[in-house]
Amino acid sequence: MQRIRRIIIGILCLVPILILGDVHSSLLLTEADYEIESQQEEPALSSSLASKEEWESYNEWHCYPIAAVELTCIEIDYGSRRRTPTIVATSNTEHYEYDLDPTFNWDCEFTLKEWRGLLNNSSQVCFFGAYLQSLGEKESLWVLSQIKSENGYWKEYESEAYRYARRKHEDFESEGQEGSEM
C-alpha cells in the first residue's frame, strides 16, 4: 500500500510539469543529454568582434508537452526574404521561438516533414538551443541545434534538411564564382 501511495504522489507531482511545460525538467532526457549540455567548451552563439558589448550563449535543453508546440514556416529577411522552419513553444505564458541557422536557405516544408515524423505519437519534446534575443516581454528567440522526442533525435548538422540546404548553398556559391570569372 505504501508503494502505491508513493507512485500516486510521484504521478501527481509530474502532472503540473506535463501540463504547464516546465522547460528545464523532463523524463525524456538522459544523463548523456545533460552531459552534452554541461560539457560545452565553447558558446554556441557570441557577439561579433565589432560589437561594443560582448555576450555569449550556450545551448540548453528545454522540454514541453507536444500540445504546447507549433511547427510553422515564417518569413525572415536575411539579406533576402525567405521562408524558414520555426518552432513556437509555450510554457505558462512565455513563448519560445526556435529558429535554425539563418545563413542557410532551409527548405521549410522538407524540414517540417522531418520534424513531424520525429514528433508523431510523442507526448513530449525537448529542444537544445542557444538564447539569441528577447522578442518582447515574454517572448524569446533561440537558435535550434537538436530536437529529442520519444522517437529519437533530430540534429541540425546530421539531418537530411541540413544536407539539402548545404547543397543549395554550395551550388549558389559556385554559380556566383563562375559568374565572376567571366
Mapped onto helix, strand or coil, the DSSP state of residue 150 is coil
Q: Does pTM surpass 0.85?
A: no
Convert the pLDDT of each residue in 98-136 to its tens digit.
999 877 778 899 999 999 999 999 999 999 999 999 999
- Tell me which DSSP letter residue 156 carries: G
Can you state the angle between helices 108-119 and 160-181, rounded to 10 degrees? Answer: 160
Distance CA 20, CA 23 (A): 9
What pLDDT sits at residue 22? 53
Count the Cβ atoms, other than its own, within 10 Å of residue 59.
20
Domain spans in the chain, listed from the N-terminal domain onward: 2-46+56-181
Read off the pLDDT of residues 19-66 as tens digits, 9 standing for 90 and up: 444 555 678 999 999 999 999 999 999 988 888 889 999 999 999 999
Rg (CA), the chain: 19
